[in-house]
Structure 1
């Protein structure tokens, strides 16, 4: 008999494990920037080393999405989950006890890497491993775990900065990581590898590693250098090029690790566009707003100004849980993009924004993010068989991480170097955020229209749980391609081998 933990198969315990696994780093991703000056002063880190810690941790998060899929094919998945959680605890302890830059950077990079390893390993089984009746609470759990945690970051940062500290936060994060490890042990089920016969993909992993490290390193060095010199620009360009080469190579591969080709029909592409544009516009907008208001409010007051973002994320999660198994899923994602656009525009129109504008703007951004990225994941996921969900999450999270975590330092550089003052530069960068959100919305709507999707489909959830796609996604540009069939590409519902 297969070994099982005492809480194996218990939905509340498994859901709690997912929340505990994802929350630590995702909170830190939106908390660390305001705390870096305090951390740097105590640990003797230069501005370049502080940016490097943040950049390499984000690179680890992006890389983990690819690495987790590769490891899942050939190694027992739940055993790997315990290993990931254990390393997350080690990384959290290293960061919390750091006495110098190297120890802190190493610990924080391990936090970023293990969070995405856990995301790809733990979330798909939560979605597909329980009856369809659990899908609604799972939707809310995912939304709040990923975006609720991020939305709470500014308030938590304000509380810590107001007390001129950072270690208490990192010890709380360590405690949550320990809880995730404990729950992973209690819910353990000895699940075998996904496909031991799958082809190993060292080229894909190498491209992802080199591309993520180079791109995020280059982006992290823009602000400390305050110039577009080769030290920052060259690795940034090379890294982005390597990530593009990875996508092309995986699209053309006969037995790919990442399922790029099956995702190239209308609905998945539109979902990916929404996820990337929402990520690329929302996180920089929140960070830029904090930069503009930092000198006008105490850290705690500034954190409270961002509290509506969390409220917006909660509202979006509740509405999403009740709509995402209906046709309204598509319109909900569109409404989320419109809310995001309105929130960014409200803040950008007047720099610095007033208190009311900030409260309303951050609330709209919170609703927008909660109503876009997770719905976009399911718009793509419902287009393929549920067995492919792990790989769908991996490719979308890779692209979302690149869009959010790499664009943010670039736009911070724009804010600091463009215009007559930092406020003018921040306003310019916020207009760029608005342009990304508007452009992504228009492109997604155009993809639906050009794909011939006049009435978005309702997901056939029961059919999806039996192993078939929840709907048929038409080919790209089907409405204007005379030879395009309406049934989507032959591989759209396939579960490809690695």
Structure 2
């Protein structure tokens, strides 16, 4: 395998990611003060300049979907090099542009390459290094995205005061070249994610067409009204195509994006929704206020007044790094929305040009930006398995870009349409932004409350190892539907020194909860051994239900060796899970039980086991544990202990014959005696 001299070195990879993301994101916030200079020198109209920015933003949004598709079929690190080359080309073409067409194409390349680099590089930085690096990664990601955006107005103001724009663009090109150099130095060849995945040209086409139409329509708001056909038709058709993309991916048999997993689970829905509200509301707090201030102050002075926004972003990036491994991480986006609402109110009071209040408002907005979108992104990612992180980033960045880049021109149009007085119109738009900030906070709280979700400390070891999500996220609106999960609790330490469980007395089992015995069966030899050995422990002739838990893509069970199915096709996975469960039920019948089978879709696995046992009113849960010890056990955790911690149904471990013969210990958290309330404990992985 080829690799560069700095491959696997965290500081070098972090520098590469930083240089890759900063150029376009900083430029997108810095370009507004430079528009008069650029248009004059390149012979562009303001409408042409608006269209160039809109198409670049569309490329950024649609590029996330394209990057996920390419990652499935092409070597991922080699593609990262290709994206870095496109970034350099875009920066050089833009800086050296001699006309508007050349400038527009350069911006499009910059936007496209930046989003693809984000999807290709950021997840590997997040999950490709030990847990101790995660706080630093959180700070870097926060600063790359929102630090770059926060410093944009200052950079644009300084460059505008000089009456030039090319020096800034050549600096951007230089940073892009450094990003390419670091991509080469940190190169570590990696295979495609899934060469068998379908080539979903429909998803890519919907994303590209939807973003281009929506952003091109919004770009015409500089010279047209919101409901003029030149604006409304492409913009609303584009939004309809984006909605169609989300719906299509939600229902697809082998989706490119994990839309279904995100939109059916409470914490991801709260995280994505809050990120969208924050992205939309922050526009009112920054770009519109800055535009109004430039009627009274120079672009250079406005840039200086916005420097506290960078300071606030830095402070909150550090805070995010501290809380990312704590329960407080759930509260940070809510705090950010409150700070954003407060910043908008301060900006209201600062207009037309109260400079001390502008400084305060900028500081509050910087704190808010650092506390909302990046933390919400990680809250969403931690709710799913780490192998989904790349697709989660793609979904959030696609939707965030749509929210942020579409709301800006719409609110700017409202500024003009609402009142003949620009200042009065800006105040109207700021109140809309304030309402979005409050709505985002209320939305997040409501989703948690109505779904039974609770802030939890993330289990980062399990997440980084890919075994499970970092915490339990109940189904969306589970409390309203009467399916709320029991509150997650911390598992007690597992005692690995107890002997195999003795047979459970008939009287003890009869005193347990009435109902069948629940076997968790995943098709493994250990689960098979547990069913075979169970009659000697609980007695034959009882009712039993055999449960196989499955998930799309991750599957969650072992199919028969001669069976073939598509792991990314939810329907095929479900059918195979039913066959595995039926095979387990047949095995239980051979062992002397009256058995039937159930296949359950659930993430994580322990949740499906517990829910199925509760739904069947099981008297006992029986599983064959996968014995682990030492460092592996510490890193991967135990589904067994998690099941035992989340149910009052007695739980029995049944060791495999090999474990018994070699005197290996069995995972256990209590005596094998059944007491009717506490778990006897025993749960298979």
TM-score range, shorter chain: over 0.9
Bigger RCO of structures 1 and 2 (CA < 8 A, at least 6 apart): 1
Cα contact 1:384–1:494 (8 A) shared by 2: no
Matched, 1:371 2:371: yes
Q: Deviations 1:414-468 (Å, cap 9, x if unpaired)?
A: 1122113111111111111111111111011111111112x41111001111211
127 and 227 in structure 1: CA distance in 2 versus 1, 3 angstrom threshold: closer
Match of 1:118 in 2: 117
Cα contact 1:281–1:436 (8 A) shared by 2: yes
* SS of equivalent to 1:225: coil
How much does 1:194 deviate? 0.5
Greater mean deviation of Cα atoms: 347-356 or 236-245? 347-356
273 and 353 in structure 1: CA distance in 2 versus 1, 3 angstrom threshold: farther
Match of 1:321 in 2: 321
Distance in 1 of aligned mates of 2:58 and 2:284: 17
Matched, 1:87 2:117: no
How much does 1:494 deviate? 4.4
Q: Following superposition of structure 1 onto structure 2, how do residues 160-309 of structure 1 map, counting pairs within 5 Å?
A: 160-226=159-225, 228-264=227-263, 265-309=265-309
Cα contact 2:451–2:484 (8 A) shared by 1: no
Q: Deviations 1:285-339 (Å, cap 9, x if unpaired)?
A: 2001111100211221110100010000000000000001110001111111111
Cα contact 1:262–1:493 (8 A) shared by 2: no
Distance in 2 of aligned mates of 1:483 and 1:3: 50
Cα contact 1:473–1:487 (8 A) shared by 2: no
Distance in 2 of aligned mates of 1:146 and 1:432: 24
Distance in 2 of aligned mates of 1:362 and 1:456: 30
Cα contact 2:296–2:352 (8 A) shared by 1: no
Q: Following superposition of structure 1 onto structure 2, how do residues 345-364 of structure 1 map, counting pairs within 5 Å?
A: 345-349=345-349, 351-364=351-364
* SS of equivalent to 2:31: helix
Distance in 2 of aligned mates of 1:282 and 1:145: 17
Distance in 2 of aligned mates of 1:92 and 1:477: 46
Match of 1:31 in 2: 30
Structure 1 runs of 4+ aligned residues shifted over 3 Å read 483-498
Distance in 1 of aligned mates of 2:284 and 2:189: 41
414 and 13 in structure 1: CA distance in 2 versus 1, 3 angstrom threshold: same
User: TM-score when scaled to structure 2?
Assistant: 0.71
Match of 2:439 in 1: 439
Distance in 1 of aligned mates of 2:224 and 2:420: 19
350 and 151 in structure 1: CA distance in 2 versus 1, 3 angstrom threshold: closer
Distance in 2 of aligned mates of 1:115 and 1:9: 22
Distance in 2 of aligned mates of 1:94 and 1:162: 24
Two-structure CA RMSD over aligned residues (Å):
1.6
Distance in 2 of aligned mates of 1:124 and 1:227: 38
How much does 1:352 deviate? 1.6
492 and 194 in structure 1: CA distance in 2 versus 1, 3 angstrom threshold: closer
Matched, 1:497 2:581: no
Matched residue count: 496
Match of 1:332 in 2: 332
402 and 487 in structure 1: CA distance in 2 versus 1, 3 angstrom threshold: farther
Distance in 2 of aligned mates of 1:345 and 1:394: 32
Cα contact 2:271–2:377 (8 A) shared by 1: yes
Cα contact 2:349–2:357 (8 A) shared by 1: no
Match of 2:50 in 1: 51
User: TM-score when scaled to structure 1?
Assistant: 0.97
Q: Deviations 1:41-85 (Å, cap 9, x if unpaired)?
A: 110001110100110000000011110000000001111111110
* SS of equivalent to 1:221: helix
Distance in 2 of aligned mates of 1:492 and 1:145: 32
How much does 1:497 deviate? 3.2
Distance in 2 of aligned mates of 1:387 and 1:334: 27
How much does 1:226 deviate? 4.5
How much does 1:203 deviate? 0.6
How much does 1:274 deviate? 1.1
Matched, 1:152 2:151: yes
Distance in 2 of aligned mates of 1:401 and 1:487: 35
Cα contact 2:226–2:232 (8 A) shared by 1: no
Cα contact 2:452–2:484 (8 A) shared by 1: no
Match of 1:344 in 2: 344
Q: Deviations 1:130-165 (Å, cap 9, x if unpaired)?
A: 111111111111000110000000000010000111
Cα contact 2:552–2:568 (8 A) shared by 1: no
In proportion to residue count, which structure has more helix?
1
Distance in 2 of aligned mates of 1:355 and 1:426: 17
Structure 1, unmatched stretches of 5+, are none
Distance in 2 of aligned mates of 1:221 and 1:53: 11
Rg: which structure is higher? 2
How much does 1:375 deviate? 0.7
* SS of equivalent to 2:44: coil
